[in-house]
Amino acid sequence: MTDTSILVIYTGGTIGMVQDEQTGSLIPFDIENIDEYIPEFRRLDYKINAISFDPLIDSSDILPEQWLEMAEIIKSNYEEYDGFVILHGSDTMSYTASALSFVLQNLNKPVIITGSQLPLGVIRTDGRENFISALEFAAAKDDETPMVPEVCVFFENKLYRGNRTYKYNAENFNAFKSGNYPLLGESGVKLKFYKENILKPNFKKLKLHNKLDSNVGILKVFPGMQASFVEAVLEAKNLRALVLETYGAGNAFTKPWFISLLKQAIDNGLVIFNVSQCIGGSVEMGKYETSRQMKEIGVIGAKDMTISSAIAKLMVILGEEKNNSKIVARFIKSWVGEISE
């Protein structure tokens, strides 16, 4: 046995489901009995402890409070463990990964989030491989330094930067993609690490950004969108920041009513960020006439950030910052590789 130790944080999701012996229906498993479902556990040569959420949650029910709960667990166990594995439903995994990447400032240890499409209690489950490989990535060190000191998503055989992912398939085992950032690693016969893509540790002390403000929104543009709908969104009570999901390289329609509604909202203090509906490529405001006017009235291009990253980052920034130009300045800067600079 090595002296490596991993803490598993079990939050819920499909991965934890097993068949109830009496009724045959799927119920959440007790992590203490993990080796009944994954006998290979006994052969891993490091110490593994686990903490379960109570109650366990389907990730569709996740709230910012639970992101902070995960971050607090990591912080209070930080010195004792070499890495952390979070078992989580796949539906909102990219949001949780993004949020944790911003909340855990100066993270120097691996936080690997994984789940599965089929429950652990089902014969063909992808959960077993996902869980074991996530543990292996979390435990991997080069000398005494962790190989992946950042928040990652591991799914099928791929290790992604968490804040660059999105869930793109509801059925395939290969459920995630990272359109704008290459893989950090892969599991095959051996674990592969693509070091040039992985953040370097900064050896500073871990701190939490632990005040999240959820007064944010997403408005996805589509052909035929009505002024009354846009108006209703922009007038939402307490809305502080809006992510406008636009076409292609950041384009939306040029109708005067649209530009004037956005301008009015910006003049009234709303900060609006332009994120593309595309999963790869970057927003380039001003490239086409259809984004030039938005640029002129003060809509801010979010380059190649994902929607989940933009939303989570805004919650963190708004929790700490009231001044709009400071909000923008913090948003467009890369914190942990979520945006290309």
Whose CA is closest to 340, among 204, 163, 219?
163
Smallest gap, in angstroms, from Cβ of residue 131 to ligand ASP?
A: 13
Q: Is 13 one of the binding residues for ligand ASP (CB under 6 A)?
A: yes
Smallest gap, in angstroms, from Cβ of residue 41 to ligand ASP?
A: 21
Q: Is 91 one of the binding residues for ligand ASP (CB under 6 A)?
A: yes
14: annotated active-site residue: yes
Taking CB under 6 A as the binding criterion, the range among 57-65, 66-74, 210-218, 333-341 that sits at the site for ligand ASP is: 57-65
Q: Is 14 one of the binding residues for ligand ASP (CB under 6 A)?
A: yes
Smallest gap, in angstroms, from Cβ of residue 136 to ligand ASP?
A: 21
Whose CA is closest to 30, among 54, 58, 47, 60?
54
Q: Is 121 one of the binding residues for ligand ASP (CB under 6 A)?
A: no
Number of residues interacting with ligand ASP: please give it, by CB under 6 A.
9
Contact 128, 17 (CB under 8 A): no
- Round to whole Å and give the CA distance between 171 and 175: 7
- Round to whole Å and give the CA distance between 137 and 159: 8
Contacts for 124 with CB less than 8 Å, ≥ 6 apart: 118
Q: Is 90 one of the binding residues for ligand ASP (CB under 6 A)?
A: yes
Q: How far is CA 68 from CA 56, 73, 149, 208, in A?
A: 16, 9, 19, 9
Smallest gap, in angstroms, from Cβ of residue 117 to ligand ASP?
A: 6
Contacting ligand ASP (CB under 6 A), which of 38, 58, 69, 168?
A: 58
Cα atoms in the Cβ-side hemisphere of radius 13 Å centred on 298: 18
- Round to whole Å and give the CA distance between 108 and 199: 9
Q: Residue 128: helix, strand or coil by DSSP?
A: helix
- Which residue, 1 or 123, has its beta carbon nearer to ligand ASP? 123
Contacting ligand ASP (CB under 6 A), which of 22, 23, 33, 60?
A: 60
Q: Is 115 one of the binding residues for ligand ASP (CB under 6 A)?
A: yes
Taking CB under 6 A as the binding criterion, the range among 87-95, 177-185, 221-229, 285-293 that sits at the site for ligand ASP is: 87-95
User: If you ran DSSP here, which 8-state letter would residue 158 be given?
Assistant: E
Q: Is 89 one of the binding residues for ligand ASP (CB under 6 A)?
A: yes
Q: Which of 11, 14, 96, 306 is catalytic?
A: 14
Tokens of 13: 């999701």
Which H or E element spans position 271?
strand 271-276
Q: Is 59 one of the binding residues for ligand ASP (CB under 6 A)?
A: yes
Q: Residue 259: helix, strand or coil by DSSP?
A: helix
Smallest gap, in angstroms, from Cβ of residue 92 to ligand ASP?
A: 6
Smallest gap, in angstroms, from Cβ of residue 93 to ligand ASP?
A: 7
Which H or E element spans position 244?
strand 241-246
- Which residue, 33 or 60, has its beta carbon nearer to ligand ASP? 60
- Which residue, 166 or 273, has its beta carbon nearer to ligand ASP? 166
Contact 151, 100 (CB under 8 A): yes
Smallest gap, in angstroms, from Cβ of residue 316 to ligand ASP?
A: 22
- Phi, psi (rounded to 5 degrees) for 8: -100, 130
User: If you ran DSSP here, which 8-state letter would residue 150 be given?
Assistant: S
Point out the residue whose Cβ comes nearest to ligand ASP: 89
Crossing angle of helices 307-320 and 93-103, rounded to 10°: 40
- Which residue, 13 or 185, has its beta carbon nearer to ligand ASP? 13
Catalytic residues: 14
Q: List residues binding ligand ASP (CB under 6 A).
A: 13-14, 58-60, 89-91, 115
